[in-house]
Amino acid sequence: MAEQIAPTRSNLLQRRDQMRLAIRGADLLKRKRDALIGEFFDLVKVSLEARKALAETSKEAYLSLFLAKAWDGPEAVESLSLAAKSGLDLKIKVDNLFGVKVPQVQAPEFDKSLPFSPINAGARTLDAASEFRKLTEALINVAATETRLRRIGEEIKKTSRRVNALEQLVIPGINQQIKDIRSVLDQRALEEVTVLKRIKAKLEAREEAAKEVA
Amino acid sequence: MSADYGYINARVRGLKSKLLEPKFYSEALDASDYSALLSSLAQSPYVKELEEAQARYSGLKVLDVALGRNFYHTTRSILNFSDGEAHELIALMLLRYDLYNIKAIARAKHAGRDLEEIQDAFFPAGELKLPILETVASAPDMAGAAQALLASPSALKGAFARAAQHYTSDNDLYKLELALDQAYYKIINAKLKEINAPDSFVRYIKREIDATNLRTALKLQGSESSDDLFIPGGKEIGRAVFDAVAAETSLGSLQILSSTSFSAVAEAQNLGEAENVIRELLNSSAKRLAADPLGIGVVANYLRMKEAEAARLRLLARGKYYKVPRETLARELGDA
């Protein structure tokens, strides 16, 4: 149901101010959306590169694990993996991109010193461990890029919805209200003119009658 | 301490005849998939262990478990039919599996892992049987594990107890493992002297120590060396060579090895290839040692061949499981 507005001149002025604000807002949001889309497409390129790197690193890592388990034995690989502490501490910084908070995940610095004795530790297993460190870095890189991409994508959708709401709903609504108020005010002005004309006519008629009597 | 090498080696030759023929590998390379490989392996002496493993596991674990169990049964059988000096020397050769299992327990205790996580890392082919390993692994901490191991017959129990005592103060797994490694080789050298082992076998062990030192030095390339990483008792790879190899930054610049029988290592492109070359050199040494029909070399050579067979089968199984191209698999298999 449309909002009932008193058709007053002050409301008309208020609606005109709202109209100017809505048009300026829509313009600003469109500019924000365009900037985000530019950023989005730049990130898409980076993200595709990161995915490609992940696929290649993953292939290398799993092949090295495959060879380590075959040559050094699955038990030896399992045994060496027991020494590694599970879990990874990531540094996450929040960037402000056109008002959008996007996380920036930094790949951790891996401690490359061995927690176990290298004597009798299989070279293939050590190679697999090194390949899996690279895989973890590639995985974090993909996660970081895609999280930024998703955040920016969500913000583009949100901004587009706002622009659409302003352009398709708010601005036409205010426009209609302005039209309605103006129409009522015009009608009132016309009525006033008519009333005044009638009064004037009556006064003139009264004056004519007075002259005739005199 | 004498031994009936005639009888022992005859039994080992019997076991050797059960090793898979080269024909098996060429046929296995053409197997359509992993299941087909398991089916053809079920026609081999691995049938019993495969059936047992298939009843409990699936996927690659079937083959891994079957190979582990088969190796365990084989080593038990050899230990059972051997006596005197031969028995002592075979137990000495299998001691490295005890070291390996104790290290697995130490790593798990260091990282606070529970028994379930350790079980896949056990390879009970040495003196320590699985129930003992599980008891030791069930201990709440390193000191408890060392205490539990004291009740076992392991030659490494004293070394583990001392290393665990240091560990309680410094919490340094690296130092603990180095102490165990050094103790292991000390035990080997002391035992060889104690039983007055044949010269040919002592030379073979010295060569194994050389190979271990060379492998360690290659892994250290580009990083700092330490006194504890060098194992005394080798013949060709002395401390100076060890330090020189460790100080280099690439495999190609290992001129120092040219005066040793490990010169071929310098031609390897990477650590994996270098390990293959070293393994081949050790295989040749074991083969030469086996030339004496009344010596321990027959057993040493057989154990190496058995390990190589397991590596080939693991490679084939993974290749078929992950559908690795035949050429790639054949190339890798060629190194086995």
Provide, rounded to the nearest whole percent, the portion of chain B with pLDDT above 90.
Answer: 67
**CA angle in degrees (0–180, nearest 5) for B232-B229-A116:** 140
Is B231 touching A (CB cutoff 8 A)? yes
Q: Which residue in A115, A116, A123 is closest to B272 by CB distance?
A: A123
Residue ranges of alpha helices (H) inside B42-172 are: 47-56, 60-81, 84-110, 115-119, 130-137, 142-149, 157-170
| 3-state SS, one letter per residue, for chain A | CCCCCCCCHHHHHHHHHHHHHHHHHHHHHHHHHHHHHHHHHHHHHHHHHHHHHHHHHHHHHHHHHHHHHHHCCHHHHHHHHHHCCCCCCCEEEEEEECCEEEEEEECCCCCCCCCCCCCCCCHHHHHHHHHHHHHHHHHHHHHHHHHHHHHHHHHHHHHHHHHHHHHHHHHHHHHHHHHHHHHHHHHHHHHHHHHHHHHHHHHHHHHHHHHHHC
Searching chain B, which residue's CA lies closest to the CA of residue A78? B121
- Ordered by start, the domain boundaries in chain B are 199-294
Tell whether B69 lies on the interface with A, counting CB pairs under 8 A. Answer: no
Residue B271 confidence class, pLDDT cut points 50, 70, 90: confident
Decide if A127 touches B, using CB distance below 8 A.
Answer: yes
Q: Per-residue pLDDT tens for A158-196? A: 999 999 999 999 999 999 999 999 999 999 999 999 999
**Cβ contact (<8 Å) for B100 and A119?**
no
CA–CA dist B78, B73 (Å, integer) = 9
Query: Tokens 């408890």 map to which residue?
Result: B144
Q: What angle do CA B300, B256, B285 make, to 5 degrees?
A: 15
pLDDT above 70 covers a percentage of chain B that reads: 97
The pLDDT of residue B50: 94
Which residues from chain A sit within 8 angstroms of residue B173, using beta carbons?
A: 83, 115-116
Of A66, A79, A123, the CB nearest to B219: A123
Predicted pLDDT at B1: 59
User: CA of A146, closest CA in chain B: separation in Å?
Assistant: 29
The answer, yes or no, to whether residue B225 has pLDDT greater than 70, is no
pLDDT digits (tens, 9 = 90+) for B80-102: 999 888 999 999 999 999 999 99
What CATH number is given to the structural domain containing A97? 1.10.287.3240
> How far is the C-alpha of B117 from the C-alpha of A25, rounded, in Å?
59
Residue B179 has pLDDT above 80, yes or no: yes
Nearest CB neighbour to B103, from listed A66, A79, A84: A79
CB contact under 8 A, A118 and B219: yes
**Which pLDDT score is estimated for B270?**
83
A113 vs chain B: nearest CA distance in angstroms? Answer: 9
Residue A183 lies in a domain: no
Q: How far from B13 is each of B68, B86, B200, CA to CA, in Å?
A: 21, 15, 20
* Architecture per CATH, B199-294: Up-down Bundle (1.20)
ipTM of the complex: 0.87
Q: Is B229 on the interface with A (CB under 8 A)?
A: yes
pLDDT less than 70: residues of chain A: 1-3
**A34: Cβ contacts below 8 Å, ≥ 6 apart:** none
Residue A85 contacts B, CB cutoff 8 Å: yes
**What would the two tokens of residue B98 be?**
């005890």
pLDDT digits (tens, 9 = 90+) for B251-269: 666 778 888 899 888 888 8
Query: What total of structural domains would you count in chain A?
Result: 1
Residue B335 is predicted with a pLDDT of 59
User: How confident is the model over B154-164, as pLDDT tens digits?
Assistant: 999 999 999 99
CA distance B174 to chain A (A): 5
Contacts of A125 in chain B (CB under 8 A): none
Which pLDDT value is given to residue A169? 94
Write down the pLDDT at residue A93. 87
- B100 to chain A: which residues are within 8 Å by CB? 75-76, 79, 120
Instruction: Calculate the average pLDDT of chain B.
Output: 90
Q: Which two tokens stand for residue A170?
A: 């708010």
At how many degrees (to 10) do helices B60-81 and A74-83 cross? 100
pLDDT at A1: 45
For residue A85, what are the domain limits? 9-171
Confidence of residue B139 (pLDDT cuts 50, 70, 90): very high
